Amino acid sequence: MTGTEINRPKSCEGDQVDPVRVALAGLDARDAAEALTRGVNDILNVTPRMPTRLHLRVGRASVELEWPELGEVPELARVPLGAPEFAEERLEILAPLVGVYYVAPEPGAMPFVSVGDDVEPGQQVAIIEAMKLMNPILAEDHATITEILVDDAESVEYGQPLIVLEPRARP
């Protein structure tokens, strides 16, 4: 949907002393990110439709927005963004094939993941066995596991939800 590019304020740019940069120098990256997120929210609250691209910059304060051509994309329902709402977004890992779901690399071993674990893209979260081939199931996002929907050794079909996750901000 929207992508926000968060740039760290650069320490020197141009010859003149920029008062904004002086003020920003006191902020750490986390505060700057929060300021930007608030900025994004403020902008989205007054725009008529969801933009396809949004670029903010704090040093020399630039804002760029892009919308789809009229009629190109149906109008999207406004989705409020922001830190607390972010947490309600739900991600699911779906079974990419028919087979038997396994939570651990071998019987009795520690499970790959449990509820509450943080996962990274590419991290193995389960196995689906199809025709004696062990197919690793990998996480695709930086996220926290909130629910595991399938029991060990249960058979699953294509497209079946396996694990529910909650996205985390990228480190």
Partner 1 sequence: MTTGAADPPFHTVLVANRGEIALRVVRTCREMGIRTVVAHSTVDRDSAAVLAADERVQIGPGPAKRSYLYPPAIIEAARRTGAQAIHPGYGFLSEDPDFAEICARNGLVFVGPRPEVIARLGDKAQARRLVAETGTPVLPGSGDPVSSPDEIRAVAAEIGLPLIIKAVAGGGGRGMSVVHRPEDLLPAFRSASSTAAAVFGDARVYIERFLPAARHIEVQVLADEHGNVIELGERNCSVQRRLQKLLEESPAVGLPPGVAERLREASVTAARALDYTGAGTFEFVVSAETAAFIEVNCRIQVEHPVTEMVTGIDLVREQLRIAAGLPLSISQRDVSPRGAAMECRINAEDPERDFAPCPGLLTEFVPPGGPFVRVDTHAYPGWRVPPDYDSLLAKVIVWAPDRDQALARMDRALAEFRIGGPGVRTTAGLLREVLADPVFRDGRYTTSLLAERERERAAGLPQLVPD
**Where does this chain bind partner 1 (CB under 8 A)?**
97-100, 130-131, 133, 155, 157-160
Of 24 and 97, which has the nearer Cβ to partner 1?
97
Of 151 and 157, which has the nearer Cβ to partner 1?
157
* Cα–Cα distance, 139 to 141 (Å, whole number): 6
Of 101 and 112, which has the nearer Cβ to partner 1?
101
Closest distance of CB 52 from partner 1, Å = 27
Of 35 and 97, which has the nearer Cβ to partner 1?
97
Closest distance of CB 16 from partner 1, Å = 58
Closest distance of CB 82 from partner 1, Å = 34
Which tokens in the block code for residue 101?
A: 């779901």
Closest distance of CB 1 from partner 1, Å = 24
Of 18 and 140, which has the nearer Cβ to partner 1?
140
DSSP characters over 31-80: HHHHHHHHHHHHHHHH-SS--SEEEEETTTTEEEEE-PPTTTSPPPPP--
Burial bucket for residue 162 (CB in 10 Å: 0-12, 13-18, 19+): buried
Closest distance of CB 147 from partner 1, Å = 21
Task: Give how far Cα 162 sits from Cα of 81, 122, 123, 157, Å.
Answer: 26, 16, 15, 10
* Cα–Cα distance, 143 to 98 (Å, whole number): 25
